[in-house]
């Protein structure tokens, strides 16, 4: 199985729309944002602002706002729009997407965050699911694994040293969740019945026409991407954005370092 080739994105310019066999991945640290939360929240739609207000804890609210503002500032240049003008809406399951009338290029994306780390996957014309997860402590899984892992996955986890288990579990979890996101079904028993395995299994074709793989390189964070399997070997462009740019979004200037 060929792993998707990874090309580091040259920082400095926006990469432009992903080609038909390309996946753009963007990563950031949500707690690193030097921008003022109040200012950033003005970039969000009224719908998103209402969601942000419902969080009970400030930390969750802040991360939600930064994640949304950041994803808008990444998506904006793809659509040649200001970040606050990116026309986003959510479907019945709460999954955000770009309003179809304003989306002539059929840009699709998947946003995920775990703790302070966020990742955004962007494609054209095809669904994408991404997920990140810190290692999952073993005791959390004692009851869960039986139902959610396939027998082979269970056997794999069981045969690992306890120290490696938490990371492998996180890998399997992210791969399942990425598949669920790409399918748009939410987490169902059906999704859990697909054998996706840990990153040691490489790229896995997991049914429903999807392939899923893990990104290497992050020591403590499992990251997975799922896209359609039939066409090609996708090219992955990764880019680390340090944080949400600090420019004043009220004055509608485009962030320079995108």
Summarize as ranges the residues that interact with other proteins (CB under 8 A): 3, 6, 8, 11-12, 29, 54-60, 62, 93-94, 114-115, 133, 136-137, 139-140, 142-148, 150-155, 158-159, 163, 173, 177, 186-195, 197, 199-201, 207-208, 214, 216-220, 240
Q: Which is nearer to other proteins, 106 or 164 (CB)?
A: 164
**DSSP category for residue 102:** G
- Count other C-beta atoms under 10 Å from residue 139's C-beta: 7
Least distance from C-beta 151 to other proteins, angstroms? 5
Least distance from C-beta 48 to other proteins, angstroms? 14
Sign, Cα dihedral of 34, 120, 122, 40: negative
Q: Which is nearer to other proteins, 46 or 151 (CB)?
A: 151
Least distance from C-beta 70 to other proteins, angstroms? 16
**From CA 34, how far away is CA 27, in angstroms rounded?**
16
State phi, psi for 95 to the nearest 5 degrees: -85, 125
Least distance from C-beta 186 to other proteins, angstroms? 5
Least distance from C-beta 103 to other proteins, angstroms? 25
Q: Which is nearer to other proteins, 45 or 112 (CB)?
A: 112
3-state class (DSSP) for residue 69: helix
- Quote the strand ranges of the chain, DSSP E: 5-8, 22-29, 88-90, 96-98, 107-114, 117-124, 128-133, 204-205, 210-214, 222-228, 235-240
Q: Which is nearer to other proteins, 107 or 204 (CB)?
A: 204
């Amino acid at each position: 199985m060929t792993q998707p080739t990874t090309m580091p994105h040259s920082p400095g310019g926006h990469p432009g729309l992903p080609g038909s066999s390309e996946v753009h991945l963007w990563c950031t640290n949500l707690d690193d944002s030097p921008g003022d939360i109040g200012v950033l929240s003005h970039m969000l739609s009224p719908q998103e602002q209402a969601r942000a207000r419902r969080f009970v804890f400030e930390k969750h609210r802040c991360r939600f706002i930064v994640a949304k503002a950041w994803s808008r500032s990444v998506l904006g240049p793809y659509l040649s729009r200001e970040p606050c003008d990116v026309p986003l809406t959510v479907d019945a399951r709460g999954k955000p997407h770009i309003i179809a009338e304003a989306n002539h290029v059929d840009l699709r994306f998947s946003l995920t965050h775990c703790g302070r780390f966020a990742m955004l996957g962007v494609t054209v014309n095809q669904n994408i699911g991404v997920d990140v997860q810190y290692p999952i402590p073993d005791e959390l899984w004692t009851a869960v694994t039986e139902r959610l892992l396939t027998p082979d996955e269970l056997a794999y986890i069981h045969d690992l040293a306890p120290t490696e288990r938490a990371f492998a579990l996180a890998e399997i979890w992210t791969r399942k969740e990425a598949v669920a996101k790409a399918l748009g079904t939410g987490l169902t028993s059906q999704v859990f019945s697909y054998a996706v395995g840990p990153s040691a299994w490489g790229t896995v074709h997991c049914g429903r026409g999807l392939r899923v793989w893990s990104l290497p390189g992050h020591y403590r964070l499992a990251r997975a991407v799922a896209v359609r399997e039939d066409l090609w070997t996708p090219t992955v462009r990764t880019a680390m954005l340090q944080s949400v740019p600090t420019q004043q979004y009220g004055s509608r200037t485009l962030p320079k370092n995108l």
